[in-house]
Amino acid sequence: MKKALIMVCVLLFVQPLYAQSAKDILKQKTESQLQNIVNSSPFLTGMMAVDLTTGDSFAINQEIIFAQASAIKIPILMEVYKQAKENKFVLTDTRPLLSTNTVAGSGILKAMVDPISLSIRNYCMMMIGLSDNSATNTLIDLVGFKNINNTMQSLGFKKTRVQRKMIDQPASLRNEENISTPDEAVKILKLLYSGMFIDKATSDEILSTLQKNPVENSKLAKGIPSEVKIAFKSGGMGGVSTEWGVVYLAKRPYAVAVMENYKAGSEPEDVISNISKTLYGYYSTIAKATNYGVILE
């Protein structure tokens, strides 16, 4: 009898420690919504999101390696700024656009008729703002595959690799793809947001460049109100859609990466936009609410 009484007392004491809060249940509902979006797609989807204030996160297939298409241009941009900081060149230095780097796909430089030289910074703007593949190939030549990948490795990103230039089908056939994971993409964005890549000024300039992307090119932006700023880079090619972004939600800014592959045939409702809408709904609610769910506008 005494032993049973002790057990009851222990259970009464321990039970509150495992009681869920309303916020825990809201997060579980959001996790379920995200999983349903991913499960409803016939394609493979991975995603990662993290609150840049509290670390509150969501993850599905976050460790899977995905081909990146143009989203890989973020690590390339980072290496350009790193080498500029190391005085290997100045961002105002000019470089000619070589015919060997002029390729099809997104961008405007492929349409240039006369010889052209641009500053390194302007090539960066072309690479990000217009997703220009010819500008990207010029910058890869400038900084080198090995240096980009060594920098990623030194930062702890073992699965993020630039292995080919843009529009290089023979390399793709050899499985030499530009790759990353949702987990590493978000960690890269978090590094930039925290001002820890080289220094705060450099990190901020990189994010400022990403903010100059036209929002109509962003699937993430379709899931958030138009007045909320986003720094992003999207990518797409045969069977692949990707997007990395920092959403500047007041009080709850967050980083998110969504990646899809094996996309063939007719596409279902936009997975990336739906994931973005669900994440924004959760983080914006948490940003306005007390721990007891009272909404404070």
Q: Which CATH class is domain 23-64+181-292?
A: alpha beta
Do domains 23-64+181-292 and 71-176 share one topology? The answer is yes
pLDDT tens per residue across span 32-60: 999 999 999 989 999 999 999 999 999 99
Residues 6+ apart with CB under 8 A from 24: none
Q: What is the pLDDT at residue 71? A: 97
pTM of the model: 0.90
Q: What is the pLDDT at residue 180? A: 98
Q: What is the mean pLDDT of each run of 10 residues along the chain (297 residues)?
A: 50 51 87 96 95 97 97 98 98 94 80 86 95 95 97 98 90 91 98 97 97 93 97 94 97 97 76 97 89 73
Domain ranges of the chain: 23-64+181-292, 71-176
Q: What is the pLDDT at residue 14? A: 47
Q: What is the CATH number of domain 71-176?
A: 3.40.710.10
* 8 Å CB contact between 213 and 129: yes
Residues 6+ apart with CB under 8 A from 38: 45, 47, 60, 61, 271, 275
